[in-house]
Amino acid sequence: MSQSNNVKQKRLILRTVILAVFIIVLGYTIYSNVFKNPAPVQVGDIAPDFELQTTNGETVKLSDYRGKGVFLNFWSTYCEGCEIEMPYMDSQYQFFKDKGVEVLAVDVGEPALTVKKFAEKYNLTFPVLLDEKQEVTKRYGVLPIPATFIIDKDGVVLDYIEGSLPEQSIRVLMSKIVP
């Protein structure tokens, strides 16, 4: 009977291997397709680098801000939530800019003039970036705006918030990324 036990053992191993491979493949497929968060940038990730022009024609690169905390905001002039939080962001920026926190406000593809006039209207002092072809907006997977990424001095995304923020929250978030 030892030979037959041997055969039986081999068969059990084969069956286990086939079922295990099956479960791994199936698990991966269902995980990647259904349960995985589709957001390309998640909390804990290194914020992907980008390079955009400001309304003043300067070039801004995210990686140049290493060592500083970055309050990265996606917005547009037609979004009411953005309009509400812009002055809050600016007043907190006045307080935090000397402490090493930068605000980058990325407009999601409006004409430069429209954005510039809006920034002038609200006296925004932080850099307002023009994502003309929406490459950065897409890279960050931003759908509803306003959306804010809180990035620390090492470039790690500490938090991601969708929706308009009250001034108090902006203050708390900015104080988190003071280097």
Partner 1 sequence: MKIVQCECGHNNPYGTQVCEICGNPFDENEQLLNMRYEGAARRSQTYNTTIVDKIWNFFSSVKVGIWLIVLVLLGSVLGTVLPQQQYILSNAPPETFYEEQYGWFGWLYYTLGFHELFKSWWFLLLLALLGLSLIVASLDRIIPLYRSLKKQRVTRNTSFLKRQRLFSASEVEHPEESIQSVKKQLEQKRYKVKEENGNVLAEKNRFSRWGPYVNHTGLVIVLFAAMLRFIPGMYVNETVSIREGEYMAIPGTNYEYYLENEEFSIEYYDPTDEKYEAALERINGLQAKTYQTDANLYRNIGSTIPGAQPELEFVKSGKIIVNEPFTFDSISLYQTGYGTEFYKMMFQLANKETGEQFGTVEVNLDNPQEVHDLGNGYKVKVLDYFPDFEMKEDGPATKSKFPNNPGIAFSMISPEHPEGEISFVAIRTNVELGDNDYKMEFISMLNRDVTQLTVKKDHTLWLIALGGFIFMIGLTQGMYWNHRRVWLQQVDGEVWIAAHTNRGWDGFQQEITQCIQDTKLSEPVDQDVTVKKSKESE
CB 173, min distance to partner 1, A: 23
Q: How many residues bind partner 1 (CB under 8 A)?
A: 42
User: Applying CB under 8 A, which part among 14-22, 64-72, 91-99, 158-166 lies near partner 1?
Assistant: 14-22
| Residue 67: both structure tokens together | 């060592």
Which residues in 21-40 contact partner 1 (CB under 8 A)?
22, 25-26, 28-30, 32-35
| Residue 115: both structure tokens together | 């954005």
Residue 64 in the binding site for partner 1 (CB under 8 A)? no
CB 8, min distance to partner 1, A: 7
Which residues in 100-129 contact partner 1 (CB under 8 A)?
108-114, 117
Q: Which is nearer to partner 1, 2 or 98 (CB)?
A: 2
Three-state SS string across 94-122, please?
HHHHHHCEEEEEEECCCCHHHHHHHHHHC
CB-based contacts of 40: which residues, under 8 Å, 6+ apart? 48, 139, 140, 141
| Residue 93: both structure tokens together | 């920026």
Distance CA 70, CA 165 (A): 16
Residue from the set 66, 97, 139, 176 that interacts with partner 1 by CB under 8 A: 139
C-alpha count within 13 angstroms, C-beta hemisphere, residue 134: 10
Is residue 91 helix, strand or coil?
Answer: helix
Residue 61 in the binding site for partner 1 (CB under 8 A)? yes
Q: Which residues bind partner 1 (CB under 8 A)?
A: 4, 8, 11-12, 15-16, 18-19, 22, 25-26, 28-30, 32-35, 48-52, 61, 76-78, 108-114, 117, 131-133, 135-136, 138-139
